[in-house]
A and B are shown apart, each in its own frame.
Chain A
Amino acid sequence: EAGVTQSPTHLIKTRGQQATLRCSPISGHTSVYWYQQALGLGLQFLLWYDEGEERNRGNFPPRFSGRQFPNYSSELNVNALELEDSALYLCASSFVFGNEQFFGPGTRLTVL
């Protein structure tokens, strides 16, 4: 069974640009979660999507947004990039509410 996949592996952008990160959940999983791990900081919850709807978001500004498609894959968009957005962005998926989350390998975003 294929795990959670993320693309791209690495992404380099300049300040002010937009970044788009993609995540494909494990087959059958309907929930997708996005997390940010900035250098020197722990993992922080960004967004949770389930059945195409945003269910919860962490303490991040509105320029962090995303969506979930009918096939349950998800996209994270970060607008007006700032230097401090440089981080590892991890996606996870789970079957339904309350189940174990399985993580993807991450996308490392560097903002210059």
Chain B
Amino acid sequence: KNEVEQSPQNLTAQEGEFITINCSYSVGISALHWLQQHPGGGIVSLFMLSSGKKKHGRLIATINIQEKHSSLHITASHPRDSAVYICAVRSGGNEKLTFGTGTRLTIIP
């Protein structure tokens, strides 16, 4: 079993839909990252969080430390949101990131 599990693996939605991507992890962590990877490979860091909730534009990330679970939400989704979204966790005292396998999101106009 992977330390970091994401669901769904693939998600196709219509433009404007509310999107939720889930991440569960099995180890104690000091922080969780949400990353976005576009075709071609470049990665953008969306959020780093260790508790509660963060919001940036149409993106919202939440984390429940007790349940070892995080969600990434996209409101009013747009075709430009099409990308792979990756969850990564950092364990306490160790800068190494452990990554989920990613969720491929496709938004259809």
Q: Which residues of A contact B (CB under 8 A)?
A: 31, 33, 35, 37, 42-45, 48, 50, 55-56, 58, 88, 90, 92, 97-98, 100-103, 105-106, 108
Contacts and interface: CB of A to CB of B under 8 A. Distances in A.
B56 interface: no
B96 A48 contact: yes
Interface of B: 30-31, 33, 35, 41-45, 48, 86, 88, 94-102
A42 B102 contact: yes
Given A98-B30, A102-B45, A103-B44, A33 B95 contact: yes
A105 B41 contact: yes
Nearest to B86: A43
B43 to A, nearest CB: 4
Given A43-B88, A98-B31, A56 B95 contact: yes
A101 B42 contact: no
B41 A55 contact: no
Nearest to B2: A42
B99 A44 contact: yes
B30 A100 contact: no
Interface of A is mostly: strand
30 contacts: A31-B95, A35-B97, A37-B41, A42-B86, A42-B101, A42-B102, A43-B86, A43-B88, A43-B99, A44-B99, A48-B96, A50-B95, A55-B95, A56-B95, A58-B96, A88-B41, A90-B43, A92-B43, A97-B95, A98-B95, A100-B45, A101-B33, A101-B45, A101-B97, A103-B42, A103-B43, A105-B42, A106-B41, A106-B42, A106-B43
Contact of B33 (A50, A97, A100, A108): A100
Given A90-B41, A108-B41, 5 more contacts: A33-B97, A43-B86, A45-B98, A56-B95, A98-B30
A6 to B, nearest CB: 10
A90 to B, nearest CB: 6
Contacts of B30: 98
Nearest to A103: B43
